[in-house]
Amino acid sequence: MTPSLTEKAQRLYQGEALAPMVRASTTPLRALALQYGADLVYTEELVDRALLETIRVENQVLQTVDYIKDTSKLSQKVQKRLAADGNRTPLLLRIDPTIERGRLVCQLGTGEAELALSAALHVKQDVDAFDINMGCPKKFSVSGGMGSALLDDPERACRIVKTLRNHLDQHPVSCKIRLLKDTQSTVDFVSGLVNAGAHAIAIHARRPGHDATEAADWKELEQVVPLVRSKFPTLPLLINGDFYTRQEFMDFQTKHGTSGVLLARPALYNCSIFRKPPPCTTETTDYSSYSYDSPLLLDKTTVIQDYLKQSLRYNPHHKNVKYVITEMMTNRRTPTQRVPFMPHNFGGQQTIGKTCNCKSLEDLCQLWNVKFSLYRHHRHGSQNEEDYALPAGEHQYSDAYNLQGENDNVAGNVTSVVNGGDGGVGTSQMGSIYLATSNPPSTSKTIIDEPASKRPKVQVQ
């Protein structure tokens, strides 16, 4: 018997998930999280309009499915930049169906039901569910009516959910939100989303404008969760916000009966947080041994080396790899009281400065003592990094930005071997991973779908 959407959602939205992070939740980090034991992974937030400007490509080199930008829709400025770099096309989303099938949630940045549906229909064959970002407080998102702007417009938020539910018969729909002004407001907002058809809800224990260096409001989350659970006993309900240790999120889940946890900054600090303890023959609620010094955690050098190996497998641009690594080396967006428990010790004395000085994947591998060998499918023989790496798209990467975190931490007297970085959310939704072929998409025989502009516009009933 084919499971219902509700049953699919209850199976999918369980356990430990890599949260959506712009620039960070790209293929290498998602693959690393799954390697370590994550139960599901989210893409970075992908804006509906950006997705609709892509062409679907089956990448025979990497054995992935890629959504690349339709260059005819790019601005003249971007087209000129691409021309200077050989007309190699930026890619928005890369998916590895071998490891991600059944565990991949595509997060949409959207403020309009019609656009959300069109974007979802464009990529639905390659993802397992859709999540609507209703929590991002950044200006670029809110000004477009997306993210946390939807918290102030429940009617529009519910219309987006309802539209997706009415037209997607095989994909669960979830929402990631933040706390509202008070407990009842949050519960009412969640209730509206569920009544509109949401299959699952994730709640970030911060309100819009709540600084990341201040602790998440777990007390408020503890007020909201039981009320939501009492109204919707079978709803997959996930928590998010400062769960930096397995002990913390397991204790919360055991006490309040939540379905799972979304890990963002904790996964960047040490992605091996997804490593699970061995099955226990007796039921236990004692997770005290899985705190900051959990025996399950790998040392941070090993984690970064493993991330680099995944990067070699999926060939993102070296600027994106460098950005993620420097984010792994920082406490700048960590709650202040946690910083003393979260050191950055690297055996090779690597620093953010040394990492920023790297100009290629090969340089990064040399710094971190990883053998440099680009992924090569048996039918292809290129080992030239330039054949794999396409331009950095519309994401902006600045070494000065990463280095500022090092300076900030020194100023704040945070002592560790390596300091710095920022847990920043990007200001652009153009993905920062790239098509691994030297052929431009206009001549590639692997394109199997039409640009969005050539498809009929979806009419919402």
In 3D space, the residue among 298, 318, 422 whose CA is nearest the CA of residue 367 turns out to be: 318
Total length of the chain: 461
> 450 with 121: CB under 8 angstroms?
no
User: How many angstroms separate the CA atoms of 447 and 356, rounded?
Assistant: 35
Here the tokens at position 42 are 């989210």
Here the tokens at position 93 are 């989303």
Here the tokens at position 19 are 């949260």
User: How many angstroms separate the CA atoms of 429 and 367, rounded?
Assistant: 29
> 12 with 260: CB under 8 angstroms?
no
Here the tokens at position 452 are 């969005």
> 149 with 104: CB under 8 angstroms?
no
Q: What 8-state DSSP symbol labels residue 208?
A: T
Query: What is the rounded end-to-end Cα distance, in angstroms, of the chain?
Result: 30
> 263 with 25: CB under 8 angstroms?
no
User: How many angstroms separate the CA atoms of 58 and 134, rounded?
Assistant: 31
> 21 with 268: CB under 8 angstroms?
yes
344-365: b (≥16 Cβ within 10 Å) or e: bebeeebbbebbbebebbbbbb
User: How many angstroms separate the CA atoms of 111 and 145, rounded?
Assistant: 5
User: How many angstroms separate the CA atoms of 192 and 166, rounded?
Assistant: 16
User: How many angstroms separate the CA atoms of 222 and 224, rounded?
Assistant: 6
HSE at residue 91, side-chain half, CA atoms within 13 A, is 29
Here the tokens at position 174 are 């979830």
Here the tokens at position 340 are 């003393």
User: How many angstroms separate the CA atoms of 15 and 396, rounded?
Assistant: 33
136 is catalytic: yes
> 221 with 229: CB under 8 angstroms?
no
Backbone angles phi, psi at 297, to 5 degrees: -75, 135
Which residues does the annotation mark as catalytic?
A: 136
